[in-house]
């Protein structure tokens, strides 16, 4: 479903905010407002949107905003209401990265205050003015295969960071500001459950924005970290994040409210990647199977090893499927469950991943690792072993992510 109303994007001058604003224009919004502290960037983006907009009566405007100043945010929201009578979609892509790397004992008050002022208070100011302007609007409606339905009075999506869910060393000021922003968003969503106004959050990980590019220039080692930490071994493209934001804001997600979109979808992606590694391993093992069967005729140990090889791979596949199922279920329906199910789901998944990981590791650890060079006629087996070790890495990451989910469920009721 296209989002064909009026979209206000705060932080539309670059990065994820820019791609989101352009996507709204491309997918049929009748008006897109580009608001940014950098008015030149907002003007350029607004002009660019005219060439890709698909609505016949498309309108666009660029406005300057400073999210640290609530009056500035109010002026933008009031101007949008004055021009277009309503705001259907508001996206808040506001924030700055950490300025210095420091452990807890060495955090500077000036940096802490700056990040709180922009990353947390800036989000608060946006929500305050957008909620005031949007919650009492007439509901909008969408036509679906099952008829006409209300999609509420409007939709707000706030973009924070993976650091709003998971902490990292030497980033106290940044992490604290993002956790604070997430608390603000969750509270606002809870307060507006009955108003018809939907409020959701997207927490991107590493995304190829100017902020990340500048960080890599300062610290090239970040590239290696991205390749190790991200399931696809690369940073996300801004338009990939924009597609998630557009979906959450639009009519297709009209039953989604108060959600944080990051952890469970990342877990699902990890499970898919692990499944691919398991498939590669099983395919290569099958190529090696004939040689193993010949050995099995004269060695019961060889037959036992063959059977155990497939058993461990099957364990991995079943566990990955279970983790994928749970992550998708919680991402789509988590807010409809009570506290106990949201607590039990990660606990059960942690147990399953732990035993699968130990089962696989117990057999595969040291099979051919440490051997210099390739073994004669064992290329397929060695390739299978490499894929299996990658599978174990995936299970490790899933284990940590589900532990994070469990902790979040206990501490903040996630």
Catalytic site positions = 174, 178
Structure tokens at 122: 């800036």
**Helix axes 300-333 and 263-298, enclosed angle (nearest 10):** 170
Shortest CA distance to 118 belongs to which of 172, 63, 64, 67? 67
The SS3 of residue 262 is coil
Give the bridge partners for 261, in sequence order. Answer: 202
For residues 94 and 86, the answer to whether their CB atoms sit within 8 Å is no
Q: Is 313 left (phi over 0), alpha (psi -120 to 50) or beta?
A: alpha
In whole angstroms, how far apart are CA 163 and each of 160, 176, 269, 333, 357?
A: 8, 8, 19, 23, 27
Cα 178 from Cα 159, distance rounded (Å)? 10
What are the φ and ψ backbone dihedral angles of 195, each rounded to 5 degrees? -85, -15
Of the chain, the end-to-end C-alpha distance in Å amounts to 28
Contacts of 171 (CB under 8 A, 6+ apart): 98, 101, 163
Contact, 271 vs 327, CB < 8 A? yes
Q: In angstroms, rounded to a whole number, what is the distance separating the alpha carbons of residues 391 and 385?
A: 10
What whole-number distance in Å separates Cα of residue 89 and Cα of residue 156?
6
Please state, as a whole number, how many other Cβ atoms lie within 10 Å of the Cβ of residue 414: 22
Query: Phi, psi (5° rounding) for residue 95?
Result: 150, 160
- Give backbone dihedrals phi and psi of 166, rounded to 5 degrees, phi first: -125, 130
Residue 377 DSSP class: T
User: What is the C-alpha separation between 390 and 384, in angstroms, rounded?
Assistant: 10
Closest to 136 (Cα-Cα) out of 191, 195, 83: 195
Of 265, 271, 258, 269, the closest CA to residue 412 belongs to: 258
């Amino acid at each position: 479903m296209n989002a064909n109303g009026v979209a206000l994007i705060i932080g539309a001058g670059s990065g994820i905010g820019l791609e989101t604003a352009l996507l709204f224009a491309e997918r049929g919004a009748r008006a897109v407002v580009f608001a940014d502290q950098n008015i030149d960037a907002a003007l350029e983006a607004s002009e660019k949107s005219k060439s890709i907009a698909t609505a016949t009566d498309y309108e666009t405007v660029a406005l300057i905003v400073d999210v640290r100043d609530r009056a500035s945010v109010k002026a933008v929201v009031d101007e949008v209401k004055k021009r277009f009578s309503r705001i259907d979609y508001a996206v808040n892509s506001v924030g700055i990265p950490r300025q210095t790397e420091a452990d807890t004992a060495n955090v500077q008050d000036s940096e802490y205050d700056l990040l709180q002022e922009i990353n947390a208070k800036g989000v608060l100011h946006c929500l305050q003015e957008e909620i005031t302007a949007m919650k009492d609007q007439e509901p909008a409606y969408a036509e679906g295969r099952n008829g006409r339905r209300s999609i509420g009075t409007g939709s707000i999506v706030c973009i924070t960071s993976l650091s709003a869910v998971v902490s990292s060393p030497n980033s106290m000021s940044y992490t604290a500001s993002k956790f604070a922003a997430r608390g603000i968003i969750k509270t606002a969503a809870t307060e507006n459950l009955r108003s018809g106004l939907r409020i959701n959050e997207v927490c991107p990980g590493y995304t190829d924005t100017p902020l990340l590019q500048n960080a890599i220039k300062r610290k090239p080692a970040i590239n290696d970290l991205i390749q190790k930490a991200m399931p696809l071994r690369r940073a996300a493209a801004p338009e990939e994040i924009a597609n998630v934001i557009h979906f959450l804001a639009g009519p297709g997600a009209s039953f989604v409210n108060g959600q944080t979109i990051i952890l469970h979808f990342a877990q699902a992606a990890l499970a898919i990647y692990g499944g691919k590694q398991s498939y590669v391993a099983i395919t290569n093992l099958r190529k090696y199977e004939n040689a193993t069967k010949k050995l099995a005729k004269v060695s019961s140990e060889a037959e036992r090893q063959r059977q155990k090889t497939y058993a461990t791979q099957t364990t991995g596949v079943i566990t990955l499927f279970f983790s994928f199922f749970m992550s998708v279920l919680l991402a789509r329906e988590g807010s409809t469950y009570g506290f106990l199910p949201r607590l039990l789901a990660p606990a059960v998944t942690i147990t399953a991943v732990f035993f699968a990981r130990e089962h696989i590791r117990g057999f595969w650890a040291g099979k051919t690792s440490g051997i210099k060079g390739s073994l004669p006629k064992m290329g397929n087996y060695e390739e299978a072993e490499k894929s299996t070790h990658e599978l174990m890495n995936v299970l490790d990451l899933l284990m940590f992510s589900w532990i994070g989910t469990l902790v979040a469920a206990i501490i903040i009721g996630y």
